[in-house]
Amino acid sequence: MPEPAAGSTTPLTIELPDGRRLGLTRYGNPAYRAVVFHHGFGSSSLELPNDAVLLDRLQLQILAFDRPGVGQSSVYRRLTFPSFADDVAAGLEVLGIREAVGVMGWSVGGVHALALAARHPARVAAVQLLSTCLPLGEPAAYRQLSPVWKALHWGQVAFPWLNRTTFLWLSRQWARHPDRTLDWFIRLMRAAEADVTGRPGFRELLRDAAVQGFAHHGRGVYDDAQAWCRRPGFRIEDVRAPVRLWHGTADGVWAPGNIPYLASRMARAQVRLLPGEGHMLYLENWTSILEEMHELLVPAVAVAK
């Protein structure tokens, strides 16, 4: 494992107890307080802005773990929300991080963030859910889904071979024609998402993250989708850490109507709705999001002392 330099962005690979590889990207100084970031669907640990000055000011480091089959992480076909939560907890042990961490999750990464907080409560000091989704396979959450998401869930469960073929084809497109593939996705997006994704800087970041997200012939994306559609294996109500839900009123991927419902199932959750913002709001609000996480972690540090 390479020795990370202060203030740098460092790719790391660690070995889990069962011998699998777990890849991650470390943003910032390893001496600072750790925040775990869970990436979105079809993406990877490269989707974060690299703002070393901001991280240094707040004295935070971010550990963005790649889920199985993404980037340098080994494929794990029995992927579940609990299994990846356990992978992250084991990864923190390998990295020598003993104190409770902040946890973030964007899009479906928000469900993975909740799984970590519910399954390893002593490990998690605070949670931020950024444009989060609901677990599609939980009966209670399923009843809240829009007809479109219910149809997508049905298609993933009823025709897994078709989804596997689609993700395989997309993996080849991202590997061979990344800019053309990104342009194709931008044309399918609503205005709020297309505007942010197409901006210089954000465009390259999201493109490179998707290329790594569809590594291993798209196997990781497929396994992530399958896990998303099964029963989640954890209770949302078991999340005891303070939770902040950031969501845009113009989110074209996951409408904001489900967010108050999700917040109502956690004892210490607060909703922050941003007018006119879309699914990519974390990119435009990265400074405010990290400043909030810093504030959430300060009480945890005081209690520990």
pLDDT in tens, 33-73: 999 999 999 999 999 999 999 999 999 999 999 999 999 99
- Overall number of domains in the chain: 1
CATH number at residue 108: 3.40.50.1820
The pLDDT of residue 110 is above 70: yes
Mean pLDDT of 227-248: 97
Whole-prediction pTM: 0.95
Q: Evaluate whether residue 1 is within a structural domain.
A: no
| CB distance 39 to 67 below 8 Å | yes
User: Tokens at residue 126, please?
Assistant: 């605070």
The pLDDT of residue 5 is above 60: no
Collapsing DSSP states into helix, strand and coil, what is residue 65?
strand
Measured between alpha carbons, how far is residue 89 from residues 50, 113, 199, 257 in Å? 24, 12, 35, 32
Measured between alpha carbons, how far is residue 111 from residues 37, 80, 141 in Å? 12, 11, 12
| CB distance 86 to 119 below 8 Å | yes
Collapsing DSSP states into helix, strand and coil, what is residue 266?
coil
pLDDT category of residue 301 using cuts at 50, 70 and 90? low
Q: Which domain holds residue 66?
A: 9-304
158 by Cβ neighbours in 10 Å (0-12 / 13-18 / 19+) ranks as exposed
